[in-house]
Amino acid sequence: MKNLIYGLFVLLAYSLILSACANRVSPTGGEKDVKAPVILAASPANEQTQFDATEIVMQFDEFIDLQDPQNQILISPAMKERPEFKKKGKKLVIRFKEELRPNTTYTINFGESIVDITEKNSLGNFEYTFSTGEVLDSLWINGRVVNAADNAPSEKVLVGIYDTSSDTLFRSTPPLYIARTDKDGRFKMNNLPSGTYQLVALDDQNNNLFYDIPTEPIAFYPDYIKIDTSKAPLYALRLFSEGKEKIKLMERNNREFGRIELIYSSNSDSLAVEVLESPIPEKDLLIYNTSKNDTVDVWYRNHYPKSLQLVVNDYAGYQDTINFKKLADSSSLSKVKFISNMRGGRGTSAIHLKKPVYIEFNHPIQTVKESLINLLEDSVALDIAPIIKRPSNNPRKLVFNHAWKAETNYQLLIPDSTVFDFFGKYNEAIDITFKTTPRDQYGNLLVKLVEIDSSQQYLLKIIDARKNVTFFDVMEGSQKELTYLETGTYTIFVIKDENKNGEWDTGNYDEKLQAERVFNARNTIQVKANWDSEVEVKVSDD
């Protein structure tokens, strides 16, 4: 009996061993490293005075790497020759290439450049400071940089201070001391000497530490700042682009006979276009800016050139000669087509109760027999004359603007040969049915301005979640009620229109002109169906 029990025990133990061998798992490798490198020692030591070394050696607790040191590492005061930063295993060696200034406090801010070699954990804004004199400067300033147009935080923007001897230093000389904004637009500049300075910010696109490209966004504090106490105010800077960027031709197209499309990098409404070599009679030539305002369309007819040369210029001195060596032939001219916001797929379209509807053709419209067009409201014909419009800024469009009734069926009938285009082609019959949405699908919003200056003019700008401007107009008084808003999330902006020209104006550094002030509601607004919402916007800096 004992032998039987002993045999069963051995068999069970053997089975357990086989089972353990058969269910092997891969090693996990331990927990993921989430710790940043730690500095064990530095020679000379951090915050050293009477500094006279030509190099700095830093010892870390693990192997390190440097990420984007050219942009991440900032040195104040700025040096003409940037030091050499060289990593050697767990060491970082910094060698100076120029003689250091006497009695000066230097700060090296490493930003996010120092990381471990495996998981790239960053040490994060570590600063090494030393003085070539007997004391370390200990004053500081801080503040925040935002985009002047919408108050969004401006990240990775350089902030610098200059002496007050010249306003042109910003364009030709690196700043005396420098910092960089974080993701919230905040900055702090440490180890500063007392004095009076100019405070500026720059989105430095070519990394040379001064303002030399017209497209670089800039900001400047309106007054000189005085650094003489450890209790510095919070400086607010608003970043703007001066709008001096040169217009540039981005794309040129001639996909269809009779049409040339010129697409530019920015607003093109100041451009004048002239056709050379093959003059086209004025009645057979149509040139206009499209509704996108960055595109010029050149249309021609009854003319069959094999090539074409255009000269484009504007009041700012821009001039360009554009050659089309081979043009699309007449066989590429398409028949009359159209798009419309009343066509939402098969069946009946639903349209906004307070918005116009439109038809946009593929060619400019020459003539329209308006008397032939029928617009039916629940099968009752409407008088089309006060409803139909042909906008001057888009000769391809017909707009129908009517006080639509809620939850009502409409039918638009445009018979064959009612619309004749620029090339003498006519439309085929158009029959579109659409329906207006119910009133209770919309919400209302009341915008109130707080601490308003009655001598100023204010502009109200509302943007939806898709970044589309849904409303932009002058505020009449201190509040504005907006009705029939589609449900969704909106951002509310109020512009102090100081020159009362009905638009937001950017700043100018030479003229010491700040961009017009923009205020916004603290939070986005959720507009709900059949609901009245209210928002207050404070329009003062206090």
Q: Which residues lie across from 320 on neighbouring strands?
A: 312
Q: Which helix (H) or strand (E) holds 70?
A: helix 69-72
| Cβ neighbours of residue 376 closer than 8 Å, sequence gap 6 or more | 382, 410, 411, 412, 413
Q: Which residues pair with 358 in a beta bridge?
A: 399
Give residue-wise pLDDT tens across range 481-504.
999 999 999 999 999 999 999 999
Which of 160-174, 238-252, 369-383 shows the lowest mean pLDDT across its residues? 160-174
pLDDT at 168: 74
Average pLDDT for 286-293: 82
Task: Read off the pLDDT of residues 349-385 as tens digits, 9 standing for 90 and up.
Answer: 788 999 999 999 999 999 999 999 999 999 999 999 9
What confidence tier does 23 reach under pLDDT thresholds 50, 70, 90? very low
Instruction: Please state whether beta strands 186-192 and 218-220 pair in parallel, antiparallel, or not at all (unpaired).
Output: unpaired
What pLDDT sits at residue 223? 94
Assign 425 to helix, strand or coil. Answer: coil
Least trusted range by pLDDT, from 19-23, 119-123, 354-358: 19-23
Output the average pLDDT for the chain: 89
Say if residue 77 is preceded by a cis peptide, omega within 30 of 0: yes
Cβ(473)–Cβ(488) under 8 Å? no
pLDDT for position 124: 83
Is residue 25's pLDDT more than 50?
no
- CA neighbor of 300 nearest in space, from 274, 322, 323: 274
Residue-range domains of the chain with CATH: 39-131 (2.60.40.1220), 139-239 (2.60.40.10), 250-332 (2.60.40.10), 338-437 (2.60.40.3710), 441-538 (2.60.40.2100)
- Of 19-28, 244-253, 280-289, 459-468, minimum mean pLDDT range: 19-28
What are the φ/ψ torsions at residue 442 (nearest 5 degrees)? -110, 160
**Beta carbons of 463 and 469 less than 8 angstroms apart:** yes
* pLDDT tens digits, one per residue of 82-119: 999 999 999 999 999 999 999 999 999 999 999 999 99
Tell me: pLDDT of 64 over 90.
yes
Query: 393-424: per-residue pLDDT in tens?
Result: 899 999 999 999 999 999 999 999 999 999 99
Q: How far is CA 233 from CA 217, 220, 362, in A?
A: 24, 16, 59
- Is it the case that residue 344 has pLDDT exceeding 60? no
The DSSP code for 528 is -
For residue 349, what pLDDT is reported? 79
Is residue 185 exposed (0-12), middle (13-18) or buried (19+ Cβ within 10 Å)?
A: buried
pLDDT given at position 205 = 86
Whether the per-residue pLDDT at 542 is higher than 80: the answer is no
Better-scored residue on pLDDT, 293 or 183 = 183
Q: Report the C-alpha gap between 160 and 64 in whole angstroms.
A: 29
- Please report, rounded to a whole number, the percentage of residues in the chain having pLDDT higher than 90: 73
pLDDT level of residue 33 (50, 70, 90 thresholds)? low
Residue % of the chain over a pLDDT of 70:
92
- Tell me the three state secondary structure of residue 30: coil
Distances from the Cα of 174 to the Cα of 76, 197, 238, 338, angstroms: 10, 14, 20, 56
Q: Output the pTM of the full model.
A: 0.82
- Cα-Cα-Cα-Cα torsion 323, 328, 330, 333, nearest 10 degrees, comes to -120
3-state DSSP helix/strand/coil % of the chain, to nearest 5: 10, 40, 50
DSSP state of 53: -
The two structure tokens encoding residue 231: 């209790």
Pick the closest to residue 148 from 428, 437, 485, 517 (CA basis). 517
What is the predicted pLDDT for the residue at 15? 52
Q: Which two tokens stand for residue 349?
A: 């379209």
For residue 337, CA distances in Å to 117, 394, 425 come to 60, 16, 10
From 481, 480, 462, 482, select the one nearest 471 (Cα to Cα). 462
Return left, alpha or beta for 329; rule: phi > 0 is left, psi -120 to 50 is alpha, else beta.
beta
Which string of DSSP letters, residue by residue, matches 310-366?
EEEE-TTS-EEEEEESSPPPGGG-----EEETT--SSS-EEE-TTS-EEEEESS-EE
pLDDT tens readout for residues 216-225:
999 999 999 9
Across 267-273, average pLDDT: 81
* H helix or E strand, kind and range, residue 12: helix 2-22
> Using one digit for the tens of pLDDT, what is the confidence trace for 137-163?
999 999 999 999 999 999 999 999 998
| Interval 306-342: pLDDT, tens | 889 999 988 777 889 999 999 999 999 999 999 999 8
Going from the C-alpha of 470 to that of each of 133, 348, 537, the distances in angstroms are 60, 25, 18
Residue 136 burial (10 A CB sphere; 0-12, 13-18, 19+): middle
Residue 396, classed as helix, strand or coil, is coil
- Hey, what's the torsion of the CAs at 73, 77, 81, 86, to 10 degrees? -30
Continuous segment of H or E residues that includes residue 18: helix 2-22
- The pLDDT value recorded for residue 267 is 78
pLDDT (0 to 100) of residue 266: 80
Structure tokens at 181: 């904004």
Contact 322, 262 (CB under 8 A): yes
Judged against a pLDDT cut of 80, whether residue 7 lies above it is answered with no
